[in-house]
Chains A and B, each alone.
Chain A
Amino acid sequence: MKPEEVKYTKTHEWIKIEGDIAVIGVSDHAQHQMGDIVFVDLPKIGDKKEKGKQACVVESVKSAFDIYSPVSGEVVEVNTKLSDEPALVNQSPLENGWLFKMKVSSADTSDLLDWNAYSEFANNEAH
């Protein structure tokens, strides 16, 4: 998957919506900032998540990072591979390192950023 094919939040999650199912992960920029990911505290299937609220936690050696849900909905699948291989988030943030899938209840995506807008936002934030 190319970085242009997904939408982003200002809190550095990416989201790809197909029908009423959304796949969510962290951006390549974010995984670089976090450093070596060693643990992902995944949500539970069936959990209801609200847009903008904490959905799961990704931990590097040094710190824990909250991951916020880009839309509201119900968790329908989690990337169980991350239990054994959390480093997939570093190696392949947009593909094998996805975090969870949601059934979207309200697809208010007007505030999501496309790749160009996100790149500019992330660069500005870094400097």
Chain B
Amino acid sequence: MQSSTLKKTALNETCRKYGGKMVDFHGWELPIQFEGITKEHNTVRNGAGIFDVSHMGQIFVTGKDAAAFLDYVNANDVKKLQNNQGCYSHLPNGRKGIVDDVINFCLNKEEGRYLVIVNATTSTKDYEWFLKNSKGFQVKIENKSDDYSMVALQGPKTISIMKKFEPAILKFGRFSVVESSFMGEKIFVSRTGYTGEDGFEVAAPHKVINQIWDKFFELGKSEELIPCGLGSRDTLRLESGYLLYGNDIDDEHTSYEANYGWVVKLKKEKFIGKDIYEKQKAEGVKIRLTGLTTQTGIPREGCKVFKDGRQIGTLQSATFSPTLKKGIGVGYFDIPDLKPGDSLEVEIRDKKVPSFVHEVPFYKGGAFGKVYIES
């Protein structure tokens, strides 16, 4: 193994101690699983799980024009965010693609302080993209990805854990954020995640992240909190219809093609790529990211998909769904108006397996419904 060349998170030793099976994930050494993917998946759906997501990046945008700048680089409406609010969004690349998918948090509108959570593999690319497009805006852009660790506490039972950790976040709904402190260090607690369940993410300086992890296990004892790895993170996110940058979206596909048109706010006066999006919205898309389930077998990334004997696309992400107990996948198909139940075939190991178009999300967890708000 060439583990010495891999980047390690501040929780590396802790993950190993908890039995994490470490793998190379885009240059980061992270746990693929602890006890087992199925157990971890089901625990997040019904209980409480914690993930080391320290590979994720943090870019701080501050200054008089912070809101206007972020509004310009995002497809979603960042200007309308009030203090403690956040939104999921795409960064259009001005051609027919997406630089990254991100979460923008408004820390303080009056002070012009925003935090953008970006993907691990794209943090430098995003930072450079921000710099390049910041001309004319009075903003300071800082890539603090190397200074912060992050954990995700996910599942319906994490509410009672958070009540004892930072109850202020429970006053707000999904995609909210609060600035807090832990052992004298400033931390960011948000009501976000990548699992489809209600839950929280905590970004904190490396030197306190192990203490935060331990604190969650102490507070989560009665909730039977377990550590979870990237394996279940992937099955949970795919069931929820969440996109994986690099697989499902990239510099060659638009938000409309990804079936995420809701993140594009064409009413905004201007943003990068607005003209392209307007044109595509008017003309309609030629390909669309569409979900399917297989009758038997497990589809994988790259499998060819057929309709009436003709290949209509390939799968971008696919796996076994522990909740549906069958194979699920998403791919760009050249028939953009397929309906749930339409018959398809997926080629798995030279065999064409009967499959059906399925609506996305495949499963709507707690994050898709009404969440608990503390009065």
Contact = CB atoms under 8 A, between A and B. Distances in A.
Given A35-B33, A36-B39, A64-B298, 12 more contacts: A36-B37, A36-B38, A39-B297, A57-B349, A59-B297, A59-B298, A60-B37, A61-B37, A62-B37, A62-B231, A62-B234, A62-B319
B97 to A, nearest CB: 28
B94 interface: no
Contacts of B234: 62
Contacts of B300: 64
A35 B349 contact: no
Contact of A61 (B296, B319, B349): B319
A64 B303 CA distance: 13
Secondary structure of the A contact surface, majority rule:
strand
Nearest to B231: A62
B231 A35 contact: yes
Given A61-B37, A61-B320, A62-B319, A41 B235 contact: no
Interface of A: 35-36, 38-39, 41, 57, 59-62, 64
A39 B325 CA distance: 10
Given A57-B349, A59-B298, A36 B36 contact: yes
A41 B38 CA distance: 19
Contacts of B32: 62
A61 B231 contact: yes
Contacts of A36: 36-39
B33 A59 contact: no
Interface of B: 32-33, 36-39, 41, 231, 234-235, 296-298, 300, 319-320, 322, 327, 349
Contacts of B39: 36
A57 B348 CA distance: 11
24 contacts: A35-B33, A36-B36, A36-B37, A36-B39, A38-B322, A39-B296, A39-B298, A39-B320, A41-B349, A57-B349, A59-B297, A59-B298, A59-B320, A60-B37, A61-B37, A61-B38, A61-B41, A61-B231, A61-B319, A61-B322, A62-B231, A62-B234, A62-B319, A64-B298
Contacts of B296: 39
A39 to B, nearest CB: 5
Contacts of B37: 35-36, 60-62
Contacts of B38: 36, 38, 61
Contact of A35 (B36, B297, B319, B327): B36
Nearest to B33: A35
A62 B33 CA distance: 10
B40 to A, nearest CB: 10
A36 B320 CA distance: 11
**Which residue of A41, A57, A60, A62 has the most chain B CB atoms within 10 A of its CB atom?**
A62
Contacts of A39: 296-298, 320, 327
Nearest to A33: B21
A41 B297 contact: yes
A117 to B, nearest CB: 24
Contacts of A61: 37-38, 41, 231, 235, 319-320, 322
Nearest to B294: A39
B228 to A, nearest CB: 13
